[in-house]
């Protein structure tokens, strides 16, 4: 067996976990009932599905222990922003524990004192004054000062942990994780820059650790000395004055907690009785470390966790881009960590653990680090927690993939991600699907998106789709363009148009007939970029292409008419991409528009500067895509059912293409 280390059981206190894979805590605020803060069947199904998939330990998302001292509710709308652990949810927690136990898994509940200075902005603007260890500025609304908690208020929160612990053990839950990470309220007490108290909860490191130590004592007193309690902490905050602090820069001056202090903190906490540590990195000031985008290499924080493990005698878990099975196995084999904690990876594929243990890793659907389904979409629209590559995540029993009652012959025109996903799901339901792709390769725009080394997760996703179509025996016809003649000859019951998009050519004087190339041509190797390179367009496509070229030693300038780059992407991804661009010497011109192109210069104009020229040897267009809807326009009335999905409807993100393919494949 290849992955022996991940299969080995491990003890956390008095609880034996069957393997070394844990479900890392995921923010579940968009799964709860927002009017009560309580969980529902959707939450139960979500966690049980990860236990069914083989994870030995399930750690839930965060639950506040009380909502009176530290309020986290939008007063104007009456909506809870964080889940609250309460007696009202006990029937659901009982069911969750029972079902997880039936798969041999263990269940830990993550408890928190609350967000403190990082209270959601709509809560603050609704009239709630956030609290903190000291009178810190509110992160989201800097003009608002937090109220420093009184000593007796801290004691009330400690007591609430004890009260909740008694309930938690009563319903059969196996342990508690105390959330002391990411700059939330407990972390604010333990960190010097946020804690300027003069009572017993302040002072030196041991004084600042009084809060989590009293929480531990309250839990053990109420739930029993043998009841496992783990502590989640960041190895480094990565709060720095440096403008560039991403991807393993070590020389930055740490303004938050650095690794050496975290090692000392870990020693104290485990000596005081915490049964294990769950290690992560970052905080809200360094969001890319706390929610690492795909630009980070897998296993990027192993060295931090291993340093902590060297200094403590309790099990150490590590979360953060650990979804590569080989890296996970090696980390446990070499003793760098004891348990691998996977969050987004188990959202992308709840069967990750079983597939690894069966050495069937080619079947794992990879997380691509986009944050669209798990954070961006829920944050912007209030939608429920889910996953871009796995639309069934978060609604496991609400939208099942059921066998069709009426088998159809379905023609799918286009082998991009929307077409492949639709073909995959429709075939799994029992339809006869024929997928036509006009080029000689499946993948559509995934092909060029997967080219840069920092986008290998996209390459793995493409390989997964190709294998899925093959394993499910989907009939695929390459180098075949769908037209009316083919449709009339085949006479399908339904036609699904998934013909994707093509690059836009903006109305810039002199552009037509120039030697400009687009990103698709460049990334596919059809064109080359040499000398001084100018990229017109600072969206995700333009910036990632610029970074790819700069990492090859090229001289690159990005020109963007808006006041920032990569707008529309999740904040952590945008922050990290901008920092990488800065590190690799990419020059960025914001707020300027390309007005005219000659053979060697681009004329720029903007509101804040006079017209200027920028010289180039290679001009690259990253000015967006437009729908390739020619087939869609000509197929009206050809057969009874015609649908359009993906970019041919409107150019958007991978998330949108997969979701449209999944929905149609599930319902047709």
State the CATH number of the domain containing residue 560.
Answer: 3.50.50.60
593 is a domain residue: yes
CB 538 within 8 A of CB 588: yes
Cβ neighbourhood burial of 486 (10 Å; 0-12, 13-18, 19+)? middle
56 is a domain residue: yes
CB 282 within 8 A of CB 242: no
Q: Are residues 528 and 496 in the same domain?
A: no
Is pLDDT of 383 > 90? no
92-106, 376-390, 472-486, 489-503: range with lowest mean pLDDT: 376-390
385 is a domain residue: no
Is pLDDT of 249 > 60? no
User: For residue 122, what are the CA distances in angstroms to 126, 128, 287, 571?
Assistant: 6, 9, 19, 18
DSSP state at residue 33: B
Percent of the chain with pLDDT over 90: 91
- Mean pLDDT of the 285-303 span: 96
Q: Are residues 29 and 75 in the same domain?
A: yes
Q: Are residues 154 and 34 in the same domain?
A: yes
CB 589 within 8 A of CB 560: yes
The predicted pLDDT at position 92 comes to: 96
529 is a domain residue: yes
Q: Are residues 116 and 222 in the same domain?
A: yes
The H-or-E segment that residue 540 falls in is helix 540-550
Query: Which one of 184, 231, 570, 616 is the catalytic residue?
Result: 184
- pTM of the predicted model, to two decimals? 0.95
Q: Based on the residue annotation, tell me whether 465 is a catalytic residue of this protein.
A: no
Residue 388 Ramachandran class (φ > 0 left, ψ -120 to 50 alpha, else beta): alpha
Q: Are residues 555 and 481 in the same domain?
A: no
* CATH code (residue 165): 3.20.20.70
The predicted pLDDT at position 7 comes to: 94
pLDDT in tens, 217-234: 999 999 999 999 999 999
Task: From 308, 332, 364, give the residue that closes a domain.
Answer: 364
Cα(199)–Cα(349) distance, integer angstroms: 47
Q: Are residues 44 and 192 in the same domain?
A: yes
Q: Are residues 288 and 424 in the same domain?
A: no
pLDDT band at 663 (very low <50, low <70, confident <90, very high): very high
Q: Are residues 571 and 540 in the same domain?
A: yes
pLDDT band at 340 (very low <50, low <70, confident <90, very high): very high
- Angle between helix 210-223 and helix 259-271 axes, rounded to 10 deg: 30
The predicted pLDDT at position 402 comes to: 95
pLDDT band at 610 (very low <50, low <70, confident <90, very high): confident
User: For residue 338, what are the CA distances in angstroms to 304, 308, 334?
Assistant: 14, 12, 9
User: What rounded mean pLDDT belongs to the chain?
Assistant: 95
Number of residues written out for the chain: 668
Is pLDDT of 27 > 90? no
Between CA 165 and CA 30, with CA 52 as vertex, the angle to 5 degrees is 60
CB 344 within 8 A of CB 23: no
Going by C-beta distance under 8 Å and a sequence separation of 6 or more, which residues neighbour residue 89? 38, 39
* CATH code (residue 472): 3.40.50.720
The predicted pLDDT at position 606 comes to: 84
The predicted pLDDT at position 384 comes to: 87
Locate 347 and state its tokens: 């959202």
pLDDT in tens, 440-480: 999 999 999 999 999 999 999 999 999 999 999 999 999 99
Cα(56)–Cα(46) distance, integer angstroms: 15
**Maximum average pLDDT range among 26-40, 494-508, 606-620:** 494-508
342 is a domain residue: yes
Cα(367)–Cα(365) distance, integer angstroms: 7
404 is a domain residue: no
374 is a domain residue: no
Cα(540)–Cα(524) distance, integer angstroms: 17
Collapsing DSSP to helix, strand or coil, 279 comes out as strand
CB 263 within 8 A of CB 308: yes
Task: From 331, 349, 364, give the residue that closes a domain.
Answer: 364
390 is a domain residue: no
How many separate domains does the chain show? Answer: 3
- Mean pLDDT of the 311-322 span: 97
Look up the domain containing 281 and give its range: 4-364
Q: Are residues 242 and 310 in the same domain?
A: yes
- DSSP H helix total and E strand total for the chain: 24, 29
The predicted pLDDT at position 377 comes to: 87
Cα(325)–Cα(289) distance, integer angstroms: 21
- The rounded radius of gyration (Å) of the Cα atoms in the chain is 26
The predicted pLDDT at position 253 comes to: 75
pLDDT in tens, 1-24: 899 999 999 999 999 999 999 999
Locate 44 and state its tokens: 């139960």
Q: Are residues 163 and 231 in the same domain?
A: yes
Percent of the chain with pLDDT over 70: 98
pLDDT band at 252 (very low <50, low <70, confident <90, very high): low
Q: Are residues 75 and 179 in the same domain?
A: yes
Cα(134)–Cα(150) distance, integer angstroms: 10
Locate 461 and state its tokens: 């996703």
197-201, 377-381, 603-607, 652-656: range with lowest mean pLDDT: 377-381
Q: Are residues 485 and 524 in the same domain?
A: no
Q: How far apart are the first and last CA of the chain?
A: 41
Task: From 343, 364, 385, give the residue that closes a domain.
Answer: 364
The predicted pLDDT at position 247 comes to: 47
CB 188 within 8 A of CB 195: yes
Name the H helices within 358-505.
377-381, 417-428, 446-449, 456-471, 484-490
- Mean pLDDT of the 553-576 span: 95
Residue by residue, DSSP assigns 76-137 as TTTEESS-B--GGGHHHHHHHHHHHHHTT-EEEEEEES--GGG--HHHHHTTPPPEESSSPB
The H-or-E segment that residue 597 falls in is strand 592-597
Is pLDDT of 382 > 90? no
Going by C-beta distance under 8 Å and a sequence separation of 6 or more, which residues neighbour residue 283? 181, 182, 183, 187, 234, 237, 238, 239, 256, 289, 290
Is pLDDT of 244 > 50? no
pLDDT in tens, 354-367: 999 999 999 999 99
Residues forming a β-bridge with 340: 21, 318
């Amino acid at each position: 067996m290849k992955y022996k280390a991940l299969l080995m059981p491990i003890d956390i206190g008095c609880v034996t976990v069957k393997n070394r894979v844990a479900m890392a805590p995921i923010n579940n605020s968009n799964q709860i009932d927002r009017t009560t803060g309580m969980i529902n069947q959707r939450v139960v199904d979500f966690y049980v599905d990860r236990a069914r998939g083989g994870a030995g330990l399930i750690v839930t998302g965060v639950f506040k222990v009380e909502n009176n001292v530290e309020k986290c509710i939008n007063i104007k709308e009456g909506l809870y922003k964080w889940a609250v652990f309460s007696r009202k949810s006990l029937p659901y927690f009982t069911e969750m524990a029972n079902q997880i136990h039936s798969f041999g898994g263990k269940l830990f509940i993550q408890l928190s004192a609350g967000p403190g200075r990082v209270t959601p902005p709509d809560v603050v603007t609704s009239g709630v004054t956030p609290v903190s260890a000291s009178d810190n500025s509110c992160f989201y609304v800097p003009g608002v000062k937090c109220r420093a908690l009184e000593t007796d208020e801290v004691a009330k929160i400690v007591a609430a942990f004890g009260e909740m612990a008694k309930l938690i053990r009563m319903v059969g839950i196996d342990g508690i994780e105390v959330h002391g990470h990411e700059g939330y309220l407990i972390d604010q007490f333990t960190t010097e820059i946020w804690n300027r108290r003069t009572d017993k909860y302040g002072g030196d490191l041991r004084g600042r650790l009084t809060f989590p130590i009293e929480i531990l004592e309250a839990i053990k007193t109420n739930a029993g000395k043998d009841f496992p309690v783990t502590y989640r902490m960041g190895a480094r905050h990565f709060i720095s004055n440096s403008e560039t602090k991403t991807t393993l820069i070590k020389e930055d001056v740490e303004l938050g907690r650095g690794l050496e202090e975290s090692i000392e903190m870990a020693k104290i906490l485990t000596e005081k009785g915490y049964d294990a540590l769950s290690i992560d990195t970052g905080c809200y000031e360094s969001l890319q470390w706390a929610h690492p985008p795909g630009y980070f290499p897998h296993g990027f924080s192993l060295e931090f966790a291993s340093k902590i493990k060297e200094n403590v005698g309790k099990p150490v878990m590590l979360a953060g881009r650990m979804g590569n099975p080989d890296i996970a196995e090696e980390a446990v084999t070499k003793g760098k960590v004891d348990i691998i904690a996977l969050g987004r990876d188990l959202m992308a594929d709840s069967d990750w653990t079983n597939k690894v243990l069966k050495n069937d890793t080619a079947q794992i659907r990879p997380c691509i680090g986009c944050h669209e389904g798990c954070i961006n979409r829920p944050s912007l629209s209030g939608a429920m927690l889910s996953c871009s590559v796995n639309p069934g995540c978060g609604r496991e029993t609400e939208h099942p993939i059921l066998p069709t009652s009426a088998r159809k012959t379905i023609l799918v025109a286009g082998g991009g991600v929307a077409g492949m996903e639709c073909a995959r799901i429709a075939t799994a339901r029992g339809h006869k699907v024929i997928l036509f792709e006009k080029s000689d390769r499946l993948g559509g725009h995934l092909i060029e998106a997967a080219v840069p080394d920092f986008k290998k997760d996209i390459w793995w996703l493409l390989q997964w789709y190709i294998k899925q179509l093959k394993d499910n025996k989907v009939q695929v016809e390459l180098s075949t363009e769908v037209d009316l003649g083919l449709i009339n000859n085949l006479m399908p019951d339904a036609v699904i148009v998934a013909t994707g998009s093509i690059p836009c050519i903006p109305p810039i004087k002199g552009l037509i007939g120039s030697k400009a190339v687009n990103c698709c041509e460049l990334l596919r190797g059809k064109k080359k970029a040499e000398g001084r390179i100018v990229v017109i367009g600072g969206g995700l496509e333009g910036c990632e292409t610029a970074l790819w070229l700069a990492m090859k030693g090229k001289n690159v300038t990005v020109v963007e008419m808006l006041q920032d780059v990569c707008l529309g992407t999740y904040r952590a991804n945008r922050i990290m991409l901008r920092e990488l661009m800065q590190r690799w010497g990419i020059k960025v011109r914001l707020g300027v528009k390309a007005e005219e192109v000659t053979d060697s210069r681009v004329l720029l104009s903007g509101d804040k500067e006079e017209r200027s020229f920028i010289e180039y040897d290679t001009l690259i267009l990253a000015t967006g895509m437009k729908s390739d809807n020619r087939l869609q326009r000509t197929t009206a009335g050809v057969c009874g059912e015609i649908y359009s999905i993906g970019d041919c409807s409107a150019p958007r993100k991978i998330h949108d293409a997969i979701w449209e393919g999944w929905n149609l494949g599930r319902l047709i």
